[in-house]
Amino acid sequence: MKRSFYFLFIVFLLILSACSNSEATGEHQPPEANTPSDKDHSSLSNEILVAYFSCTQTTEKIASYIKEKTGGTQYQIRPKVPYTEEDLKYYTNGRADQEQADSSSRPEITGSISGFEKYKTIFLGYPIWHGQAPKIIYTFLESYDFSNKRVIPFCTSHSSGIGSSDTNLHPLAPNAEWIGGKRFARDASKENVSDWIDTLNIKIETEKENMQFYFMIGNTRLAATLENNAATDALKEKLKSGPITIQMSDYGGFEKVGSLGFDLPASHEQMTTQPCEFVLYQQSQLVIFYGSNHWSYTRLGKITGVTPAELKAILGSGSTTITLGMSSVSSFDLDSGVNGRAPTIMLNSGYEMPILGIGTYSLHGDTCVQSVLSALESGVRLIDTAYMYGNEAQVGQAIRKSEIPREEIFVITKIYPGEQYSNPKKAIQEALDKLNIGYIDMMLLHHPGANDVQAYKAIEDFVKQGKIHSIGLSNWYIDEIDDFISKVNIKPALVQNEIHPYYQEKMVVPYMHSLGIVMQAWYPFGGRGYTREMLSDKALVAIANEHNVTTAQVILRWHLQRGVVAIPGSSNPDHIKENISVFDFELTDTEMNAIATLDRNEKHDWY
């Protein structure tokens, strides 16, 4: 009798099964056709949730790619009782077999999603088990109200397509807007995921992390980082309607305090505050510390880019008017630019940087001096150099010779892997000495390499001394940046990578923006041996003719409209002047989309 029962049970499972356990193995399969939605969906990045269930990291990997592309929040659906390897073995009457065969099975989930109501778009990921979504996905769908939310399933499997696994979920959230799902193989790439998301017509407006919080005190603008809590979420919502101005006064010789004029949700705790921190007192009082105190507060954030002594001087004594606001690192105020003078973007370090400049790679000797002088005379105020360019002294010479006030010019230089990373303090001091312009606005690590964290921390020490204002990275990408940031104290203000119409970094740019990091393009015209081809591209030439500008100007305008700073190099005074003259025309959405289609993922240099 028992043998008959087990035989019938196994036959039942074989009929039910459409594929083997998707997360146990994987093979490459051509992606099946996907029918794009005919609607133009729009979501803010902080309104996107990427929820997934994964036992062997296959679905988790796809979820991470979606997060990188959309800037959404990643959430793992975890069973209260974790699955073991034995549980996942097929046709053993194990736990997974039993749950999938039982239509009423609802495995219990541990944890919950805070603020679920704010999410408008939910990507829902799972492995295929016996042709269907695991029953824990059913539990998840029945645990929240999905009314008026958009749900986009994605799954991973060994060989089969998504089948009916997504449509069978619809009755569990009948008031949701369901979008056709997608199956991915185990070896699916970031590009596969990015291309799929592009077909969904979801206009993603990154807003959460790339919004730079700032204080305006007189004519001084100070950047600040915010804590992640209910109080700062509520404050950011208030600031969406515009800046907030408050009056603040000294208290106790260590702080400025003033009423916000509205309450914020408080989660007070006893703490010892440090200079440059700001907190919520009671529910409506903003406190900025230029000294220290021990009391019960809710942390709000920290002002960056200034020393405690500088902050105290900026705040002044007595009553002070302070404005709170937010600005984005992913979009520039191009309307404020004029030909011959580029607008600026506030970095997360608190300093302003022009969004268009000149690169000095391959410029040497008097040619470098004259090129930088020509750029400065044309209105360029952003200059990029590096130790490896061998021209820091010439750049400094041109700046001194120009007699333009030092504070109007933003200089970037870089130290290089190898000897300089091994002895970074010496390398940094050499850069200061060669440039001989008082201080360096930004220093970058030129590439990842041995001792790069050590080198970065040495730059941090020079920031504390006021000899360097901001820190950044060059040739860092998504995989490198996450690991690197966790090891340093000051978040990079900028990442400088190869970016041009043939290599658009469509995933890297929004990901860096989501971290509050400005992106900058070297090789904005394609680089050595490729510039002529790019400037002759028929699509770009047609757009240039439409606006009566040059192809180079179209490319630079394209960079700026997608939130990427550009540093084109040239020794030709006419070209230098042309490059800083891109503020009297605007590319249409159609033209921006046409340039987006030119992307070949074609990198022209090795780093």
- Rounded to 10°, the helix 452-464/424-435 angle is 50
108 DSSP assignment: P
- Closest C-alpha to 526, from 557, 552, 500: 500
DSSP 58-86: HHHHHHHHHHHHH--EEEE-EESSPPPHH
Beta-sheet pairing, 202-205 with 41-44: parallel
Three-class DSSP category at 391 = coil
- The pair of structure tokens assigned to 529 is 């041996």
User: Where would I find the H helices in 124-163?
Assistant: 135-143
- Active-site residue 90, yes or no? no
- Closest C-alpha to 496, from 451, 418, 443, 571: 443
Residue indicated by tokens 């790679």: 361
Identify the sign of the CA torsion 497, 502, 508, 511.
positive
- The pair of structure tokens assigned to 469 is 């204002």
Distance separating alpha carbons of residues 545 and 538, to the nearest angstrom: 10
- Closest C-alpha to 476, from 520, 432, 437, 434: 520
Backbone angles phi, psi at 264, to 5 degrees: -120, 150
Three-class DSSP category at 589 = helix
Q: Which of 138, 351, 389, 503 is catalytic?
A: 389
Question: Is-contact 525 535, C-beta < 8 A?
Answer: yes
Where in the sequence numbering do the catalytic residues fall?
A: 389
